[in-house]
Copies of this chain bind each other. A is one copy, B any other.
Amino acid sequence: MGRWQGGASERLKEAALGLFSTRGYDRTTVAEIAAAAGVTERTFFRHYADKREVLFVDQTEFERAFLSSLPETGDDPMRLIAAVLDGAATLFPEERRAWSRARQTVITTNVALQERELLKMSTLALTLTRALTTRGIDPTSAALAAESGVTVFRTAFTVWVTETETRTFPAIQQTVLTRLHALIG
C-alpha cells in the first residue's frame, strides 16, 4: 500500500484527485468525493474545509518542512536558504511524483486553484523572510533571499512534474539553484 492509501484523509485525497482528473474540478462535488472514498460527507468535512483544500497540504505543516532545515547559526541569506531548500526537497520522494503530476494538471485548469497555490507560496516566502530577519538580516535582503528560494523551489517543482522528467527532485532543485547563481552572479 502506498503512502496515500492509509486513513480516510488519504483515501479522500486519492478519490478527489481521480474525480478532478477524469470529470473536471468544477463538476466534482464533495458528496461524490466522499462516496468514492467510502466515507460520509461529514467525515470529509472533518478532514477538509472544502474540495479545494484536498489539493493543499496544511500550510503550517508545509512551512514547518522548510523552517525545520533552517540552520541554527549563520547570517549569509542565500546559504541559509540553500539549506532550507535541501530540507524541503525531502518532501518530494519518487512515490509522490505521480500524485503531484496529476495535481498540477488539475491546478492549471482552474484559476481559483492557481490563486490558492500562489498564495501558499507567497505566504511561505513571507514566513521565510521573517525567519531571516529574526537572524538580524535586513528586511530587503531577507525578502529577496526568501523570494529567490521560493522561485527556485517552484521552478524545480515545475520541472519535476513534467511528463518525461526522470531526475529526482533534490537533483533538479540543485541544478536550478546553481543556474540562478550563474545567471545573477
Residues A140 and B159 in contact, CB atoms below 8 Å apart: yes
- Is the CB of A49 closer than 8 A to any CB of chain B? no
Counting contact residues on chain A (CB < 8 A from B), the size range is: 20 to 34
Q: How far is the CB of A163 from chain B (nearest CB, A)?
A: 15
- Is the CB of A98 closer than 8 A to any CB of chain B? no
Using Cβ atoms and an 8 Å threshold, which residues of chain B touch A14? Answer: none
Residues A176 and B118 in contact, CB atoms below 8 Å apart: no
Q: A78-B184, A151-B151, A185-B184 are in contact. Are A179 and B115 (CB under 8 A)?
A: no
A175 closest partner in B (C-beta):
B140
- Is the CB of A181 closer than 8 A to any CB of chain B? yes
Using Cβ atoms and an 8 Å threshold, which residues of chain B touch A184? Answer: 78, 148, 180-181, 184-185
Considering the chains assembled together, what is the distance between the CA atoms of A148 and B122 in angstroms? 14
Q: A116-B115, A122-B118, A140-B155 are in contact. Are A145 and B77 (CB under 8 A)?
A: no
**CB < 8 Å: which of B143, B144, B183 contacts A144?**
B183
Give 20 A-B contacts (CB < 8 Å), ordered by A residue.
A78-B183, A111-B119, A115-B115, A115-B116, A115-B119, A118-B118, A140-B155, A140-B179, A141-B179, A144-B152, A144-B155, A144-B179, A144-B180, A144-B183, A145-B183, A147-B151, A148-B148, A148-B184, A180-B184, A181-B184
